[in-house]
Structure 1
Amino acid sequence: MTLKNEDLLGRLLQLAQDLYAETAELSETESELQLWYNRGYADGMTRQIRDLGYTGQVAEVLGSVAETISEEQQFLPWGKAYRHGFEVGERETIEVLGEKNG
């Protein structure tokens, strides 16, 4: 991993950590759609970072993180916000890091 990517990875993991803290107390209401988007974004980032081969770094910074939404919730307003955030988080992470580790 280049020094640039190491710095970017650290920044992305810090962003994910901040988003998880911000969305720690989610409720299933339409009034929290932005928070659901943010949680989806964090989950999408985390999935993509792992898929790029940085599983150890994710575990070190974030611990064990499971995706938040269930299949039944995906068509509800907060589920749609979550899914959109997830997709954007995945896409933007690959745009920033763009390479497999190793």
Structure 2
Amino acid sequence: MRAKMMIVVLVVAVMLMGCSKGISNDTPEAAAKTFIEALINGDEDTLNKINRSSSLDYPTSYLLSDFAPEYADRKIEDFTFEVISNEKVLAQSKDGEKKWTLRIKKIGDGYFFTGK
């Protein structure tokens, strides 16, 4: 009986992991929002998924140590996002203090941060 219960628990756990939400990056704006929100939350896992910049330019560890603390007191609602060219999205705080032109590039089926 215990073995059957353990199998059921494992099957449910695997199903839940398979249904977990991936990153939102189907448009340049969505990728920029995902990137900024990951900075706000200090979310290393999401940054690793959305960050395709050169490992010498913006490695995730650098983004977390040098940029994320500046965003920690913000919310995603504090920002506006504007696609300004084929591969650039302007992410700007509504108070004007934070302004970052993100290079967002289509790679495969999604858009990813590749630098600034």
Indicate whether the TM-score tops 0.5.
Answer: no
TM-score by length of 2: 0.28
**Richer in strand (by share):** 2
**Could you say which structure has the larger radius of gyration?**
2
Highest RCO, 1 vs 2 (Cα 8 Å, sep ≥ 6) = 1
- Normalising by structure 1, we get a TM-score of 0.31
